[in-house]
Structure 1
Amino acid sequence: MRVKDLTVLLGVIGIVLMMVVPVSVHVVDVLLIINISLALMILLVAMNTQEALDFSIFPSLLLITTLFRLALNVSTTRNILSHADGGRVVETFGGFVAQGNLVVGFVVFLILVVVQFIVITKGSERVAEVAARFTLDAMPGKQMSIDADLNAGMINETQARERRRKIEREADFYGAMDGASKFVKGDAIASIIILIINLVGGLIIGMIYHGMGVAEAASLFTQMSIGDGLVSQIPALMISTASGLIVTRANSEGNLASDLTGQLLQNPKLLFVVAGTIALLGIATPIGVLITFPVAAVILFSAFRLQKNLNQKLVEDEKAEEQQQIEEVRSPESVISLLQVDPIEFEFGYGLIPLADTQQGGDLLDRIILIRRQCALELGIVVPVIRIRDNIQLKPNEYVIKIKGNSVARGELLLNHYLAMSPGFDDESISGIETMEPAFGLPALWIDDSTKERAEMSGYTVVDPPSVVATHLTEIIKRHAHELIGRQETKALVENVRESYPALVDELIPNVVTVGDLQKVLSKLLKEKISVRDLVTIMETLADYGGYTKDHDILTEYVRQALSRQITQQYAGGGDALKVITVGPSLEKKIAESVQQTDQGSYLALDPSSSQTIFHKLNEQVTRAVQGGLQPVILTSPTIRMYLRQLLERTLQDIPVLSYSELEPNVEIQSMGVVNL
């Protein structure tokens, strides 16, 4: 057994023996000083502890110190009653605190007991009880968090074991503190009882055994009883305070002193208010300026110093942050952040900043939220977050829309004007700045507020600049939706379907098609402005035909036929007859004969002269339909639809190409013209 272990054992045995073995007055004096020193040390350690577990021995130490204090009470009581002598320490505390007035000394002792018993001990006991309960309730959640971190690879087995052990120690500690706080409460009660015993017993023994008078015995034994009570209650008060500090301290990176100065004085401006209030108190009340002004001056000086240090710290932090940014730019790893490309960007000149500034009434951010909701309903995809930023390289009123870092559209706005689009005939009384509507390329005018009402009465379509931007951005997203859906976005859509149709997803992916195959089909549909919101039907169709072919073009055609009701509603939803441009038999035969089959799939191989002829004839029919105010739709047979779409992809990409199989049987079809070779 080591020496320190043996010393602790002998010390505890000595404490027990003190209760039954008489101890000389001089030894008791030394032990009382040791008791005060030990209590002061415990208080200082508790103040400088960051976590409660750093002082986990405290519950046991609380029991030992309480036992030690009670043993000293027994020894001093024995000496007082036996020899009418409590020792120099007891005599000094009784005489110095009482200052010759026994009533004052008795009142001070009672105040100390009340403060310790009702205020500190009672509060510490309640906090320890609540902390123990909440610690036990939180154990399962903390254990699950540790298991989750371990499974995710964020911590290893050793770290997990250490964290579990810490949770167990916390539960044991607060449970022990809940019980140990009862010792302090019992010690306070015992001190009152011992004081009464010393007073009554001392008075009786003084008169009977020492031959003293009533007044002499009362004075001597009362003073010694009060000194004995004070010399035990002062260390008890310090240990009770330490107990309260331990159970009320939350986990922190500093000790009590650093937390107090760092949190209590973190806002120096409040000290100016305090200083002004104290000074006003001295002026407006009978307290007087001689008392309040020095205190206010000290607080004011402290506020100035703290504010100066805070400003200096802010400057140093800014310099440190700038230096850190410079170091990050210089480091090789900083280049990685530059590789990130935003899916959609909206950049604008400084003149259009009010569009996005909510303090200036801009609602662009709210409109973008609505655009994403609208695209989700119409296209069936989740549009990525749109990055909005100003660009000083642009003209003040210019804006640019980028897809994956590349500019795809641009326009100019006049914020204090309205965009007026002609109904088909111009009103000469409507004057403005000529321009082009950016979304659809229609001729328009920028008009001022005074002309707005007259333009609306003339049949012009008048919109404000934010609506122009919102419309343009919506059309660009629809036009490039097929570029915005990748494998990651497709995976998110599949997981959303899995919540309601797990059997479908499990059968289709990856047994029949992969996520990449599904992404290519969705992209081809979106490229022709076909909504993929009905993803269940799309996946059901792929599950039916995915086992026969892996050609994405053919799979897309099967999906389009399955979406016939949706496509019919999209192009003939008004109930009127669907007016189409029909592909004649000679053109269908020419295209069918030009299809080439390869291992990678099929493609259309037409000679340049035939392609030009087809373009010319189709363009004539499309132009005639547009001049008649109709939306041109090309209708062909299912076998050549996708090849004709490939042929017209670059020249007539906005013209929908449908097949007979994609239309419902009950829809009425009217041919506006036939294209033959």
Structure 2
Amino acid sequence: MNRRLSMIAVPLGVVGILLLLIVPVPAWMLDALIVVNILFALVILLTTMFVKKPLDFSVFPSLLLVATLFRLGLNVASTRLVLGEGYAGQVIAAFGHVAVGGSIIIGAVVFLILVVIQFVVVTKGAERVAEVGARFTLDAMPGKQMAIDADLNAGLITETEARRRREEVSAEADFYGAMDGASKFVKGDAIAGIVIILINIIGGITIGMVQRGMEIGDALNTYTLLTIGDGLVTQIPALLMAVSTGMVVTRSNSETDMGDSAAAQLMQSRTALGIAAGAAVLMGFIPGMPILPFLGAGIVLAMLAQRVRTRERTAEQQARADEIEAAAPRAETTEDLLAQARVHALEIGLATDLVDLVNGSADDLLARVKALRRKLAMEMGFVIPPVRTRDSVELPPSTYSIRVAGVEVGRGQAPPGRALALGDHLESLPGEPTIEPVWGLAGKWVPTESRRNAELLGATVIDRVSVIVTHLSSIVGDHAARLLSREDVRVLTEGVRAENPAAVEELTPTPLSLAEVQRVLQGLLAERVPITDLPRIYEAVSLRAKTTTDPELLVEAARDALGAVLPAAFADDGVLRVVMIDPMLEQRMLEGLRPSEHGSQILLPPETIERVLTGVRDRIRSAEAEGGRAVLVCAPALRPAVHRLVAAQSPGTPVLSYQQASAGAATIETVGVIRSDAELPA
């Protein structure tokens, strides 16, 4: 019921306003509508003070239009009563006689002062702020969209969060654009108020003298007071709406409302409050000045300054106590030494000038790493170990390093006060040229104040934390097999047991141990195959394990069971581009296939192997240069050995068997063939 009432309240209100313009209303109803108008404007003004950011009150431009139309309707209704009956209700009469003491001159002066305040001061300033805000918001939209896309690509936010942020950016642009136009309503309302009051005065005097035979003095006194009262009851709400407009367009995004923000920021300087208190007392002793108001204000300011001083002392004592506690020597226990000697699975080392990246905010390095762990868990099927972050005096300035199991596997730069700009035509920007550590793209570390200039040049600008997190994400993908521990496999297996107990009971502890299951899952992760569909993997492996426990064959059984998942990861727009091996060369490879302790190997002359690898590398790169990805396909018996052979020189090159490539719904397009040895290029 309440929801339906909310849906029809505004349309019914607009219809009622239109009726005000046409149908005469009695004086008592006009009194009620004027009271509603004043309170409505007051509620809107107070609401603007308590919102934390402008978008929390995004309906304000529409309300401003409705309120303006409502006031104009009241102007028409009151004008009809003033000129027709010489009486427009108690509210207008009270404003005309009580509020201004029944004086035409005082009323006119008060009305003109209100108009000047609204039109010249508040409305003009709000109009300019709204115009500039709309322009800056629209100019910043491309950069904000690119930042959202960069965070999404780096895995720092989910698709849902990215969609929410894009909608917020779009809503912000729409809001400031609407405020730019809505500020014109306030300006037009002020002008209309002046015109209406002049028309009412001239019309009232004319009607009083011509139609009612009143003397000019009586007509002037009667109709001018009513007109001024009418002007005051409409200009006061108009002034409140103008102030509300200024409040909204000057309000910045904050975690607190205006009252809390103002109190915290005005009381941040004890010196400022103390000087103001002294100035107030001194002004009270100026001859002719009333001493009590100045003395009272000075005492209040002095009390506030003392309160700030007490708060600062408490904070200093607490900080000193924390420093003493942190600096106090503590006896190292055996557990402490073992913890320091323990090798962490993942570790990020930061140079001493990069510790500001770990600042405890919602967007610092630790928070972004936490979001990355959640994203990778959804993509790979297991939770990567916690990432330890520590500072290191051994690292050069502005340098970070990433370690896996205590071994450094990646290093990069993240200079303080800089952002990474990727793109062409960056020569005009200040900064140091660099190479992006993941994709090897040329870029430049530009000062943060030049970020806007870089975006205008078409560059993608990435903050320092995003650079580190993106690098970490790439390294985790490359070393996922090493990061999958025996305990992780146990937890994953117990999870499958809860949903599909039959798949686990047929797999472990017989015919396979937990260690052998771990080797199978590591074999999948080594080729970036997600293990999210564990029940299907376990079912395929348990069936294959009845005839063999060879890890290589078990991995192939799991890959075949995943079916369309494998080609779908490399298809572009429903097309899977493949590089094939010439049948004659493939036959020679099959003849040279030999089992070994580390998996199957292909025994061919070294020059043949070299030319095959060169052909694979050239054709894969050629396909990528044309704007698409390509995979190498071969016979199922050859796939593990071919992958092992190719991975040595071209890491990351996907290798699928014919069955795996054709398992999906993608259209297969051959983009290259590795010819036989006699036809390979010299």
TM-score by length of 1: 0.49
Please tell me whether Structure 1 or Structure 2 has the larger radius of gyration of its CA atoms.
Answer: 1
